[in-house]
Amino acid sequence: MSKEDQKLILGWREWVALPELGIHAIKVKVDTGAKTSALHAFNVELYRENGVEMVRFLVHPIQRDQDFQIECIAPLKDRRQVTDSGGHKETRYVIETDAVIASERYTIELTLTDRDTMRFRMLLGRSAMKNIAIVDPGASFINGKLDANSLYGLKHEVNK
- Domain assignment present for 152: no
For residue 103, give the CATH number of its domain.
Answer: 2.40.70.10
- Domain assignment present for 113: yes
| Domain extent for 107 | 18-138
CA–chain centroid gap for 19, Å, is 11
- Domain assignment present for 82: yes
Question: Which pLDDT score is estimated for 155?
Answer: 54
Q: In a structure prediction context, what are the per-residue pLDDT tens digits for the chain, which is 160 residues long?
A: 455 568 899 999 999 999 999 999 999 999 998 899 999 999 999 999 999 999 999 999 988 888 899 999 999 999 999 887 778 898 999 999 999 988 889 999 999 998 888 889 999 999 999 988 999 999 999 988 876 666 676 654 444 4
- Domain assignment present for 9: no
Question: Which pLDDT score is estimated for 150?
Answer: 67
- Domain assignment present for 41: yes
For the chain, the domain total comes to 1
- Domain assignment present for 105: yes
Question: Which pLDDT score is estimated for 1?
Answer: 42
Q: How far apart are CA 17 and CA 83, in angstroms?
A: 25
Q: Is the dihedral of CA 157, 112, 24, 107 positive or negative?
A: positive
- Domain assignment present for 148: no
